[in-house]
Amino acid sequence: MKNVNVLISGASVAGPALAYWLHRHGFNPTIVERAPALRDGGYAVDFRGEAHLSVLRRMGIMADIEHARTGMGSMSYVNSAGKPQAKLPADLFAGDIEILRGDLARILYDATKEHTEYIFGDSITSLTEDDHGVTVTFERGTPRRFDLVIGADGLHSNTRRLAFGPEEQFVKHLGVYCAIFTTANHLGLDHTGHAYRTAGRLVAMYSARHNTQAKAVFYFGSPTLDLDRRDVARQQDVLTEHFTGNGWQSERLLRDMRYAPDFYFDSVGQVHMDTWSRGRVALIGDAAHCPSSLSGMGSGLALVGAYVLAGELAAAHGDHRVAFARYEEETREYAAGCQKMGDGVAKLMVPGNRFLASLLNRYYKVMPYLPGKNMAADIARKAAENITLRDYSDLSRI
């Protein structure tokens, strides 16, 4: 085995999942994460279909996932008075298993911390490759040598920028911004959620952690904004500007937002690249092929990609040129199918005018009685299951 020392940038989902499988196959993973600690909070992510569930089972974390799952039921669209007007089935929103991203990250960290070096509060600043490895410099730590570097650092990947070029070359903005944070479950939601849609805006609440808290979610349509991704105060001001006077629970949630410990704000986008590797550097998860948070496929796709990349590295005995090519060959069509789930959803999520918003609300009201009522959920399941995973267990060294 060669190229055993692997640096992974990003400690959310794809990074720790990759570290888990790399260790199983005899590699030595190191994870560097810009945040000072694991990020709590975040939106709920879901897994559906045998491809997703089989990876979770093979990792031995299914029991922990089941324990922390949200158990979400249907989502109700309400009017300004909070009266339910339409109900969408749980399978469309929660898949087979739904879990908060922060809870999933903790489970993956616990499954890898004993055999993975974690470096929090630091970030890669340069990558210099030669025939024998990559010299990596960091914002705070001393330079180090690694055999391979994997970017698992999300939509705004720093690794992708350093190895492939500016973000603008690869990220497609879908015309929507999203914010989410933890709040009190003052509506008494019981494993369910309420959403209120107006022209160009949607605000929702859903219960979390066995109804002890709730998540507040805001979506609004907008072209790309010139915002510092780390300027939380300005982000909250922008959200306030868009939702003041919107109705339903908007005003209360905007007040609660100022005290939230886990406020998150970002554009909704996709990543499209001709190749996911360059030399000794490769990308996985959202860094390589983000399908957007609206697709419901991001975390499942990240787990599948991590499983395949580690397995192909083991099958190639660490030869990154062979393994990276096989990784793309095995997963590119699958990733493209997952990305299609995000196409068009933005316009449905936040229709641009009052007439379209009203029309969509009326359609959702009658949808349960239409012949194709399960079509959207069926399409999502078909996309999630559109891959046959190779069994790499015979390559395991543990």
SS3 breakdown of the chain: % helix, strand, coil, rounded to 5? 40, 25, 35
What's the maximum distance between 2 C-alpha atoms anywhere in the chain?
Answer: 65
Instruction: Tell me, yes or no, whether 240 lies in a domain.
Output: no
Domain coverage including residue 341: 5-73+92-171+268-349+377-395
Round to whole Å and give the CA distance between 333 and 336. Answer: 5
3 state SS of 238? helix
Q: Tell me: the pLDDT tens digits for 120-161?
A: 999 999 999 999 999 999 999 999 999 999 999 999 999 999
174 or 356, greater pLDDT: 174
In a domain, 147, yes or no: yes
Residues 6+ positions from 287 with CB-CB distance below 8 Å: 10, 14, 151, 152, 153, 154, 155, 157, 159, 160, 271
In a domain, 360, yes or no: no
Question: What was the pLDDT predicted at 157?
Answer: 97
- Residue 55 sits in a domain whose CATH number is 3.50.50.60
Domain contains 34: yes
198 belongs to a structural domain: no
338-384 pLDDT, tens per residue?
888 776 666 677 766 676 666 666 656 655 555 554 556 666 677 77
The whole-model pTM stands at 0.91
Q: How many helices (H) and strands (E) would you count in the chain?
A: 14, 18
pLDDT at 251 over 80: yes
Residue 189 — pLDDT band, cuts 50, 70, 90?
very high
Residue 342 included in any domain: yes
Number of domains comprising the chain: 1
DSSP run (H or E) holding 332: helix 320-342
Burial (0-12, 13-18, 19+ Cβ within 10 Å), 202? buried
Cα(240)–Cα(254) distance, rounded to whole angstroms? 6
Structure tokens that stand for 321 in this block:
């040129």
Residues near 221 by Cβ (< 8 Å), separated by ≥ 6? Answer: 175, 176, 200, 201, 346, 350, 352
Q: Name the DSSP class of 167.
A: G
- Asked, for residue 261, whether it belongs to a domain, the answer is no
Residue written as tokens 């998540």?
Answer: 215
Instruction: Report the residue count for the chain.
Output: 398
pLDDT category at 75 given cuts 50, 70, 90 is confident
pLDDT digits over 308-350, tens only? 999 999 999 999 999 999 999 999 999 998 888 776 666 677 7
Question: Has residue 312 been placed in a domain?
Answer: yes
